[in-house]
Amino acid sequence: MASLHYKFATMNSGKSTQLIQAHFNYLERGMVPLAMTPAIDDRFGPGIISARVGLELKVEVFSDSCDLFEMVKARHGEKPIDVFIVDEAQFLTREQVYQLARIVDELKIPVIGIVARLDPIKDHASFLEAAAGVAAAMPAARFVCVGNGEPVYTASLKTRATALGLDSRLLWAGARHDMSAVYNALDVNVLCSIGEGMPNVLGEAMACGTPCVVTDAGDSALVVGDTGPVVPVRAPRELAAAMIELAGAPPAERHARALQARQRIVERYDAHACASRLGDALASVSRQS
């Protein structure tokens, strides 16, 4: 899910260094960053972002008469952009700030993620196969794998992703602790395990309003209910179709699904609801004994 962030900091706090590092990190992952700086800031030359530690980055420039939305839209049409970075945002006009919001709202890039430890039971192999199918149908789609695993198995998954041509579309995010931010950055959360218990990841994602695609393993279908597709295990073609169904839905439908997903968790799985059902179950057992 596209999002807009502003970073505020004092002078000498390393903002330019962080910007240049972020730009490099995207390039290193095979992704496409677009960075710009205002023409009025020519202290180091036109289109030069310079950090006090000695790093420099040549970027595009814009004036206060430029339409940033149209500029980014044109570039995105030539080659999908993964991130747009603006230096010295204090020089943006009011209209350009709104244009940045339009970039987020109108040039949507679907983000599909799987949040699970890298373990064969979670079947990341099927996720990668499905992602390749989604990428063919939705070239703008991007994918995220959140979680760590055993090094040899992790390397085998990354090798498979490369073979499928996913390197420029796929982010291996590793273990994360800011999970609410992770779920809110996803348009679709996928759980394609071949075996499950009661998956907490679904409750967490749905509570954040993130629709889920699941395989029919353990209680996954029970948790999701009618808020998201359920497909057979080890069925990457069906999984891809379900991912496309959610990610490609019209905005109004996606919004409705997000509300339904959260409402289902609030109504059925909050502490009071679970305690009530547990009490009912214990009372039923007591009556039978």
**pLDDT tens digits along 90-120:** 899 999 999 988 887 777 678 899 999 999 9
CB neighbour list of residue 267: distance below 8 Å, 6 or more residues apart = 273
Residue 1 domain-assigned? no
Choosing from 58, 90, 106, the residue where a domain stops is: 106
Classify each residue of 123-153 as buried b or exposed e, where b means 16 or more C-beta atoms within 10 Å of its C-beta. Answer: bbbbbbbbbbbbbeebebbbbbbbbebeeee
- Single out the residue of 262, 129, 152, 278 nearest to residue 206, CA to CA: 262
The CATH number of residue 232's host domain is 3.40.50.2000
Say if pTM beats, i.e. exceeds, 0.95.
no
Q: Are residues 93 and 129 in the same domain?
A: no
Token code pair at residue 18: 């962080």
Quote the number of domains for the chain. 2
Q: Are residues 84 and 154 in the same domain?
A: no
Q: Are residues 152 and 30 in the same domain?
A: no
Q: Are residues 73 and 209 in the same domain?
A: no
Residue 276 domain-assigned? no
Catalytic residues: 88
Residue 115 domain-assigned? yes
**Cα–Cα distance between 243 and 139 in angstroms, integer?**
13
Q: Are residues 81 and 195 in the same domain?
A: no
**Cα–Cα distance between 192 and 216 in angstroms, integer?**
8
Residue-number span of the structural domain to which 173 is assigned: 111-270
Q: Are residues 120 and 51 in the same domain?
A: no
**pLDDT tens digits along 15-25:** 899 999 989 98
Q: Are residues 93 and 149 in the same domain?
A: no
Choosing from 90, 106, 122, the residue where a domain stops is: 106
Residue 79 domain-assigned? yes
Residue 229 domain-assigned? yes
Q: Are residues 55 and 171 in the same domain?
A: no
Q: Are residues 118 and 64 in the same domain?
A: no
Q: Are residues 263 and 195 in the same domain?
A: yes
Residue 9 domain-assigned? no
Token code pair at residue 275: 């305690």
Residue 182 domain-assigned? yes
**pLDDT tens digits along 238-284:** 999 999 999 988 878 888 999 999 999 999 888 888 888 888 888 88
Q: Are residues 130 and 22 in the same domain?
A: no
- Single out the residue of 245, 1, 251, 208 nearest to residue 130, CA to CA: 245
Choosing from 106, 130, 154, the residue where a domain stops is: 106
Counted residue by residue, the chain has a size of: 289
**pLDDT tens digits along 209-220:** 999 999 999 999
Residue 256 domain-assigned? yes
Q: Are residues 145 and 82 in the same domain?
A: no
